[in-house]
Chains A and B, each alone.
Chain A
Amino acid sequence: MFHIYMESSHMFVYNLALSWARAPAACLNFNCMLILLPVCRNLLSFLRGSIQFCSRTAARQLDRNLTFHKLVAYMIAFHTAVHIIAHLFNFEFFMDAQLNRNSSFLPFVLSEIGTDDNASFLNPIRSNETNPTIVMFTTIAGVTGVVITLALILIITSSMEVIRRSYFEVFWYTHHLFIIFFIGLVFHGYGRIVRGQTAGSQQTNKPHLCADRFEDWGKNESDCAVPEFAGNPPGTWKWVLGPMILYVCERLVRIYRSHQKVVITKVVMHPSKTLELQMRKKGFHMEVGQYVFIQCPSVSRHEWHPFTLTSAPEEDYFSAHIRIVGDWTQALYEACGGDKTETQEAWKLPKYETGRMGDGPFGTASEDVFRYEVVMLVGAGIGVTPFASILKSVWYKRIQNNQEVFTKKIYFYWLCPETEAFEWFADLLQSLERQMAEKDVANFLSYNIYLTRWKETEAAHFRVHHEAENDPITGLKQKTLYGKPNWDNEFTNIASKHPGTKVGVFLCGPPQLGKSLEKQCLSHTEGDVKFIFNKENF
């Protein structure tokens, strides 16, 4: 890139500012091509499904799509900054060239070229009665540049974690400024403001011979004609057109899928503000641990919220357990008649038969659970939901259908700060426990529940009932443990009980827990036991 520009005469004498601007521009072309790809969810789901037959490791990389998207975004921001700063210097030099009206100053001489025909000029600043700011607002490149940079800055500030986690709608709607960003980006080069010496002119005025003899250009004795310049054609569209088309297809697929009718068959109110929706959709097929986006038009026409599926593929409906924590979930709860005490007839529930739409399912790491012989499942708080689906599926396969499952042993760890809010899950564990005892396969699933926070008054109750057969909190035979698990011990135990196996570790929970589990996996992978860490998050 620099080599080409060294040949054109304005680079020979001016400065490297234009190269400094063109280099990040090339990187920006590349990055803007990449940034749309990780958010094509349906495409990624499809790729994940196909690649899995070749290499599961490769397929797992696709779980990190959001991290990749953010990384590319940071690169775009960085390159934009370098690009703008370089152009600031560039404009200064171009302006200098017009203001310093001295015939023995090459930049001025070059700027004078093309003043008559207004075609073969080099300096985009055409007169000395202007200033860089005015020039910027009167050129296509300048205006598009300002607009897309503003769009980028607004996208970035509304994507900060604080805003994203608290006010998702602001983040989501502002992020759609990317449409303006891409349109502006494609038109950014349309004014052909970056100019280089034409090929024809390079024969009559060879820069390396004629650059110093600029006072003699065009004169009869010299063999240097006056050079001619033309603008370079815009090139960004070649990079971004493909991904833009892919993304448009992605959105169309989402719209199509979302129009398929979803029918609510049952609504269950669980204690502690948890709503379970059981739904049916024609042609719906899911795997364990996948998630769907749900929209309820009577609540909000434009909001789609992701929820992990808590039903197993073997069931004839799909369900999601939704915690009432924000406006949308609260409104959904009320629309389902949650605030009314008497039972509601199904046909009275608002708008469900015609309006409810679901988009998905989308795959995440949990699908891999059944590929491991020994599995550690760790769920923290609400993160336990994907495991509901997995455990139910395990039960159906192993116990009801008596299928041969590759997975021989599951260690389940559930960390929660409070006893309420997950009674529905405790119920699931209770019924699993009962059924496993009946079929005499109690050793298949070993679960540990850790209560990480408790009140003083409760603690006294636990102490007194310590010897009871069933746990005072969950009613399960397996006692609840208090505090956080000692992961070192747990991993060592499992490693010693299952030598020579690959143990899959699956986490749905906070990132700090993920980091510590990842470390444990690495440190305990020795000899023939391998711990392989899989993380899921939204």
Chain B
Amino acid sequence: MGKIEWAMWANEQALASGLILLAGGIVGVAGQFRGWEFAAYAVAAGVFVCLLEYPRSKRAKGTSVERSGQYCFTVCVKAFGPLTRNYYVRAFLHAAICVPGGFMLATVLGCVCLGIASLIYLAAAIRGEHWEPILPRKDVRKPVAESIKNPPQNPPPRPPPETRRKQAKDLEGAAYDNPSSVTDD
């Protein structure tokens, strides 16, 4: 199927699952359904999954498209180091999170969707993918040429005043050989 990075699809699926889990949880709590404790859990779990999955990973090949405003989330997720970088951890985390959702009708859909996302992450992990933060590139300024760093210490050599006056009238006569060297030896 070509060089697909499964993690990209897993990310979309997991984000969608987080939202579905959240929605199911809100309905369960608002409607005061039986088992609303599971719904309350689903609200918290849904928010957590959304926050974890919002920042997109940098692609191994090709241009990465950021989600709007994802920079702060990237920084937070990056802070957890290997826990968030490794997709095996994510796969098992999602599998674990989704289980309590299966106990109540309102959250069952979120549970199954998150389970599927977990499987796709497992596939991504087996293929050796990992999460890379998308950070703004620091522009490397071209190294400034050497000569610019050393401004001249002395004013440019000028001909004596008589010759300067001559310059205005007679250009040929004004030319003269500079006594001191003008190159940077």
* Chain B interface, DSSP helix/strand/loop, else mixed: helix
CB of B116 within 8 A of CB of A136, answer no
Contacts of B24 in A (CB 8 A): 88
Q: Would A169 and B1 count as touching, CB distance under 8 A? A: yes
Which chain A residues lie closer than 8 Å to B47 at the CB level? Answer: none
A157–B12 alpha-carbon span in the complex (Å):
6
Interface string of A64-107 (1 = CB under 8 A from B): 00000000000000000100110011011001000000000000
Q: Is B16 an interface residue (CB 8 A)?
A: yes
Q: Which residues of A have CB within 8 Å of B3? A: 327
- Report B119 CB to chain A, min CB distance, Å: 11
A167 close to B2 (CB less than 8 A): yes
Complex interface: chain B residues within 8 A of A91 (CB)? 105
Q: Is the CB of B33 within 8 A of A163?
A: no
A328 to B33, CA, bound (A): 52
Which residues in A have their C-beta under 8 angstroms from that of B105?
Answer: 88, 91, 131-133, 136
Q: Is A153 among interface residues, defined by CB-CB distance under 8 A?
A: yes
Which of these, A131, A136, A157, A326, contacts B2 with CB under 8 Å? A326
Question: What is the 8 Å Cβ interface bit string for chain B, positions 28-65, against chain A (1 contact, 0 not)?
Answer: 10010111000000000000000000001001001001
Which residues from chain A contact B103 at a C-beta distance below 8 Å? Answer: 133
Q: Tell whether, in the assembled complex, residue B12 and residue A150 are in contact, meaning their CB atoms are under 8 Å apart.
A: no
Q: Tell me if B13 is interfacial: C-beta within 8 Å of chain A.
A: yes
Distance of B145 from chain A, by nearest CB (Å): 15
- Give the interface residue-count category, chain B: 20 to 34
- The residue of chain B having its C-beta at the shortest distance from the C-beta of A96 within the complex is B34
Residue of B nearest to A95 (CB): B34
A92 touches B12 (CB 8 A): no
Name A167's contact: one of B9, B23, B35 (CB within 8 Å). B9
Say yes or no for A43: interface residue by CB 8 A criterion: no
CB distance from B100 to the nearest CB of A (A): 13
Question: A170–B10 Cα gap in the complex (Å)?
Answer: 12
B97 on the A face (CB < 8 A): no
Q: Which of A267-298 contact B (CB under 8 A)?
A: none
A170 contact set on B, CB distance < 8 A: 1, 4, 9
Would you call A55 an interface residue if the criterion is a C-beta within 8 Å of the partner chain's C-beta atoms? no
Residues of B within 8 A of A132 (CB): 105
Name the one of A95, A163, A166 contacting B62, with C-beta atoms under 8 angstroms: A166
**A162 at interface, CB cutoff 8 A:** yes
B122–chain A nearest beta-carbon distance, Å: 16
A163 near B16 with CB under 8 A, answer no
Whether A88 and B33, one on each chain, are in contact in the complex, defined by CB atoms closer than 8 angstroms, is yes
> Which residues of A from 135 to 176 have beta carbons under 8 Å from B?
136, 146, 149-150, 153-154, 156-158, 160, 162-163, 166-167, 169-170, 173
B174 close to chain A: CB less than 8 A? no
Closest chain A residue to B3 by CB distance? A327
A417 vs chain B, min Cβ distance (A): 14
Which among B75-83, B107-115, B156-164 touches the partner chain?
Answer: B107-115
Q: Knowing A150-B116, A167-B9, A326-B2, say if A88 contacts B106 (CB, 8 Å).
A: yes
Q: How far is the CB of B38 from chain A (nearest CB, A)?
A: 10
A173 CA / B13 CA spacing, docked (Å): 16
Q: In the complex, A69→B151 CA distance in Å?
A: 66
Partner of A150, one of B28, B104, B112: B112
CB-based contact A163/B106 at 8 Å:
no
* A residues near B116, Cβ cutoff 8 Å: 150, 154
When C-beta atoms are compared, the residue in chain B nearest to A87 turns out to be B105
Question: Contacts A162-B65, A167-B2 hold; do A131 and B34 have CB atoms under 8 A apart?
Answer: yes
A154: chain B residues at CB < 8 Å are 13, 116
A146: chain B residues within 8 A (beta carbon)? 108-109, 112
Q: Is the CB of A163 within 8 A of B8?
A: yes
CB within 8 Å of B: which of A302-339? 326-328
Asked if B125 CB lies within 8 Å of chain A CBs, one says no
Inter-chain contacts of B8 with A (CB < 8 A): 162-163, 166-167
12 other contacts beyond A85-B23, A131-B105, A157-B16, with CB at 8 A cut-off?
A81-B23, A88-B31, A131-B34, A131-B35, A132-B105, A149-B109, A153-B16, A153-B113, A158-B12, A163-B8, A169-B1, A169-B2
The 3 A-B pairs with the shortest beta carbon distances in the complex, nearest first, are A132-B105, A167-B4, A157-B12
Q: Which A residues fall within an 8 A CB radius of B?
A: 81, 84-85, 88-89, 91-92, 95, 131-133, 136, 146, 149-150, 153-154, 156-158, 160, 162-163, 166-167, 169-170, 173, 326-328
6 A-B contacts (beta carbon < 8 Å): A88-B105, A92-B33, A153-B20, A162-B56, A162-B65, A326-B2
